[in-house]
Amino acid sequence: MSVYHITYTSGLSEVCLYFDGGCQFSCHGCITSWHPKDCHLEENVTAVKYQSINTDKVITYVNPLLFKRVIFLGKEPTQDPDFLPLVKILKRKFSTYNILITNGWEYIDDKALDEVCVSIKAITQKVFKDFTNKDNPEQVLENFKKYKNSSHIRLGAESVFIPGYIDIDEIKKIAKFIAEVDPNIPYHIDGYIPFENDKFRRPTVNEMEEAKKISQRYLKNVSILHFGVKVKYKVQRIY
């Protein structure tokens, strides 16, 4: 088991489980590598990771909490052999609404999963290769379509906006692709969080708003998150 961090948002009845079981990609500025804790915590989120805990420990930590939703995120949860068994245990024991945030490289279709948010890194092959060190974005895009065709999974998408890299033009291409699948699919754009001495910077609020505006030409449900957005609900570290 590779869960190294657990947070709880009582206002949303939501638990987040962070995995560190590896990833098929090696993305520049991976937030789990440089900012391993929940970025919504008031405490220092750049501190080192905690030790990983097993399934029984995870259940012990979340058992006293009042929660309905569980978000599985971190490096790439699908790479952990205990990921799906844990999803099933939580569904059976707590009747949870389970949400997977994934890079989409691997397709997981199980009825214990209620929602999947695919992080679409890039559409352009050269950009995708440079950013992830993988050759074919088509694998992610085809899996995205498979998720859309699943009868029991609600599908969403997200991307990271990086000025001068995953820029307005690339965000536009991603939005157009999603719209071709279904313009009603929710699309979330995260502002990049740079690490120390990074060659890329944070996007400005105006740049984020522009990315949202352009995406809304094609999609009906677009949201953004950047450093200027205030946290609505208090996030508590459980582990």
Instruction: List, run by run, the mean pLDDT of 10-residue segments along the chain (239 residues).
Output: 92 96 92 84 69 95 98 95 96 98 96 98 97 96 98 97 97 98 98 93 96 98 84 90
Distance CA(119)–CA(134), nearest Å, equals 14
Structure confidence at residue 47 (pLDDT): 62
Structure confidence at residue 46 (pLDDT): 60
Structure confidence at residue 50 (pLDDT): 79
Structure confidence at residue 73 (pLDDT): 96
Structure confidence at residue 41 (pLDDT): 83
Domain ranges of the chain: 3-237
Q: What angle do CA 239, 59, 238 make, to 5 degrees?
A: 20
Structure confidence at residue 44 (pLDDT): 66
Structure confidence at residue 96 (pLDDT): 98
Structure confidence at residue 21 (pLDDT): 84
- Please indicate, yes or no, whether the overall pTM of this predicted structure exceeds 0.85: yes
Distance CA(98)–CA(87), nearest Å, equals 7
Structure confidence at residue 9 (pLDDT): 97
Q: What is the DSSP letter of 53?
A: B
What are the phi and psi torsion angles at 88 (to 5°)? -70, -40
CATH of range 3-237; options 2.60.40.10, 3.40.50.150, 3.20.20.70, 1.10.150.570? 3.20.20.70
> Do strands 236-237 and 3-9 pair parallel, antiparallel, or not at all (unpaired)?
antiparallel
> Do strands 222-225 and 154-161 pair parallel, antiparallel, or not at all (unpaired)?
unpaired
